[in-house]
Amino acid sequence: MTTPFERTRALVLTKDFLQRLSSLGDDVVPLQISVEAEALLRHYPTLADIETAHKGNPQVFGPVPPFSRLSGTADVQGVIDATLLSI
């Protein structure tokens, strides 16, 4: 069974994955893949959207972990750090 935190983590990590795909050069991934990743990101939920979903439906979406103290891509690193704490 997927927990609300796992669902939120998947959203945040998928966004990071799409961002990385869209920024890689043509020599790494086909241009069509980069373009499709960019198109999907245009309508992808923001952290604020996810937090709003959590407040409205906490049994489906978990809270967005705090990110301010973390390095790297703050969105993703925060979720990864929070995941490691729960292992």
pLDDT computed for residue 68 by the predictor: 38
pLDDT computed for residue 73 by the predictor: 52
Question: Which is nearest to 57 in space by CA: 45, 68, 72?
Answer: 45
pLDDT computed for residue 86 by the predictor: 46
Per-residue pLDDT tens digits of the chain, which is 87 residues long:
788 988 998 898 899 999 999 988 778 889 999 999 999 999 999 988 999 999 999 999 888 766 433 334 545 555 445 544 544
For residues 65 and 13, the answer to whether their CB atoms sit within 8 Å is no
For residues 76 and 47, the answer to whether their CB atoms sit within 8 Å is no
Distance CA 63, CA 53 (A): 9
Q: Residue 77 CB: number of other CB atoms within 10 A?
A: 16
